């Protein structure tokens, strides 16, 4: 039986997964570790390279879990996507509370961000293939104000210039790693809930390129849901082509396709007669085929590969959602896995 990573190699496409380090290290869950090693040619830390994990106490870095993933990747001949340098979530509380209570002012905060990027990129220098330098900086239609804007902690504190600064600081610390802007709901122009956002991100990265800011790629996360209807594969391919026409690499960085757990759909359900299970598979296929059609699409990474360890059921509880990954909770490959495999075989 061919693995996804072996089939991906035929197309020079890296197939990846986010890795939950607790699951990777769980001796009672050996299948998790085995499948990460056998099926994937690139890995991303689901949480352990985020600022709150790396520097839980100011000035004291905790590199252990991230270094473990780097070692695992080397042993398994995998490339590593670094996730994430600048994001408004999972920041250490010493940082957010310091800003909130006024003990960390703007200039100090800018210095802290610069040092963080420099320290982290330097620590992993030579070991990271692609860095998500800036993540999820752009608002959604449901945010306030509704007009699309740069959102979140960093834009509020430092203004729009933090984005260019972050890329420059990252490049200065490692001239070889590919530097990505990463976001969700940018899979297509003109699609439901994402038209303005995709265009906004396009305009933003174009301006960064025009200003000679060192950005190498755009990561399209690919968090899909079967209740939202399907993307048109041509529209997804078009978005990748528009980004790559700017001279940027592309990648799908966090693919999954979740379903509402309505009547008749249960956790552990992998029955391909179930229309949700089929729809989830179809969503994977649309993104993968678009990626295969774009020769600048470097990697196709899923955000967890088994329903046993997926962020979806913990995040979406009302109504409950799940069934988002390639394998069910017992590590049985689902229709989504077979579809991804078939796409790689027949592309």
> Is 47 an interacting residue with respect to ligand G3I (CB under 6 A)?
yes
Which CB atom, from 65 or from 214, has the smaller least distance to ligand G3I?
65
Under rule CB under 6 A, which residues in 145-184 are in contact with ligand G3I?
A: none
Residue 187 annotated as catalytic: no
Q: Which is nearer to ligand G3I, 254 or 328 (CB)?
A: 254
Compute the least distance from the CB of residue 298 to ligand G3I, in Å: 18
Report helix, strand or coil for 162.
helix
Terminal-to-terminal C-alpha distance of the chain: 18
Q: Does 307 bind ligand G3I (CB under 6 A)?
A: no
Q: Is position 221 an interface residue for ligand G3I (rule: CB under 6 A)?
A: yes
Contacting ligand G3I within 196-215 (CB under 6 A): none
Q: How far is the CB of 226 from ligand G3I (least distance, A)?
A: 17
According to DSSP, the β-strands at 321-322 and 223-225 are unpaired
Tokens 């329903």 belong to 307
- Residue 148: phi and psi, rounded to 5, are -65, 140
Considering beta carbons, is residue 2 or 89 the nearer one to ligand G3I?
89
Six-digit token string for 283: 């969503």
Catalytic residue from among 136, 272, 321, 329: 136
**Calpha distance 46→315 (Å, rounded):** 14
**Min CB(102)–ligand G3I separation in Å:** 26
Tokens found for residue 69: 């993933």
- From residue 245 to residue 284, what is the string marking binding to ligand G3I with x (rule CB under 6 A)? ---------x------------------------------
Nearer Cβ to ligand G3I, position 65 or 141?
65
Residue whose C-beta lies closest to ligand G3I: 311
Nearer to ligand G3I, 285 or 325 (CB): 325
The residue written with tokens 């940027």 in the block is 248
185's tokens: 């709901």
Q: Does 40 bind ligand G3I (CB under 6 A)?
A: no
Cβ count near 143 (within 10 Å): 13
55-94: contacts with ligand G3I (CB under 6 A): 89-90
Shortest distance in whole angstroms from residue 82 CB to ligand G3I: 12
Helical (H) or strand (E) element with 207: helix 195-210
Is 321 assigned a catalytic role? Answer: no
Residues 107-146 that bind ligand G3I (CB under 6 A): 135
Give 254 or 307: the residue with its C-beta nearer to ligand G3I.
Answer: 254
> What is the three-class DSSP state of 307?
coil
- H or E segment at 82? strand 79-86
Q: What is the DSSP string of 84-133?
A: EEE-SSS--HHHHHHHHTTSS-HHHHHHHHHHHHHHHHHHTTTT-SEEEE
Q: Which is nearer to ligand G3I, 90 or 122 (CB)?
A: 90
Q: Is residue 311 a contact residue for ligand G3I (CB under 6 A)?
A: yes
CA distances for 226 relative to 22, 192, 261, 275, 282, angstroms: 28, 13, 11, 10, 9
The CA distance from 276 to 160, in Å, is 40
Minimum Å gap between C-beta 7 and ligand G3I is 26
| Nearest partner of 217 among 253, 248, 251, 254, judged by Cα | 248
- Give the C-alpha separation, 283 to 260, whole Å: 15
In total, the chain counts a number of residues equal to: 347
Could you tell me if 240 and 220 are in contact, meaning their C-beta atoms sit under 8 angstroms apart? yes
Q: How many residues contact ligand G3I, by CB under 6 A? A: 8
Catalytic residue selected from 254, 272, 321, 329: 254
Q: How far is the CB of 317 from ligand G3I (least distance, A)?
A: 12
What is the residue whose two structure tokens read 């610390």?
173
In the complex, least distance from residue 256 CB atom to ligand G3I, rounded to whole angstroms: 9
Which residues of this chain interact with ligand G3I, rule CB under 6 A? 46-47, 89-90, 135, 221, 254, 311
Active site residues: 136, 254
């Amino acid at each position: 039986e061919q693995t996804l990573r072996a089939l991906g190699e035929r197309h020079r496409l890296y197939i990846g997964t986010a890795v939950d380090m607790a699951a990777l290290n769980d001796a009672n869950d050996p299948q998790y570790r085995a499948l990460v090693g056998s099926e994937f040619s690139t890995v991303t830390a689901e949480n352990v390279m985020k600022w709150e994990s790396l520097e839980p106490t100011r000035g004291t870095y905790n590199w252990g879990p991230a270094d473990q993933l780097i070692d695992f990747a080397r042993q398994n001949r995998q490339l590593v996507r670094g996730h994430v340098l600048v994001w408004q979530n999972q920041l250490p509380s010493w940082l957010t509370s310091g800003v909130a209570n006024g003990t960390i002012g703007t200039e100090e905060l800018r210095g802290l961000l610069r040092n963080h990027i420099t320290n982290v990129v330097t620590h992993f220098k030579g070991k990271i293939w692609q860095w998500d330098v800036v993540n999820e900086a752009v608002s959604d239609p449901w945010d306030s104000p509704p007009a699309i804007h740069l959102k979140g902690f960093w834009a509020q504190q430092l203004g729009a210039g933090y984005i260019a600064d972050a890329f420059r600081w990252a490049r200065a610390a490692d001239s070889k790693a590919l530097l990505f802007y990463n976001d969700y709901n940018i899979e297509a122009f003109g699609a439901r809930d994402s038209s303005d956002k995709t265009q906004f991100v396009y305009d933003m990265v174009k301006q960064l390129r025009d200003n000679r800011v060192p950005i190498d790629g755009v990561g399209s996360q690919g968090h899909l849901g079967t209740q939202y209807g399907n993307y048109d594969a041509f529209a997804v391919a078009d978005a990748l082509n528009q980004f790559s026409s700017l001279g940027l690499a592309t990648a799908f960085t966090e693919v999954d396709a979740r379903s509402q757990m309505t009547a008749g759909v249960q956790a552990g359900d992998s029955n391909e007669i179930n229309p949700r299970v089929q729809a989830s598979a179809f969503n994977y296929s649309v993104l993968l085929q678009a990626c295969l059609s774009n020769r600048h699409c470097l990697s196709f990474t899923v955000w967890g590969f088994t329903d046993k360890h997926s962020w979806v059921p913990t995040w979406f509880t009302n109504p409950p959602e799940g069934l988002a990954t390639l394998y069910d909770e017992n590590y049985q490959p689902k229709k989504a896995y077979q579809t991804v495999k078939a796409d790689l075989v027949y592309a």
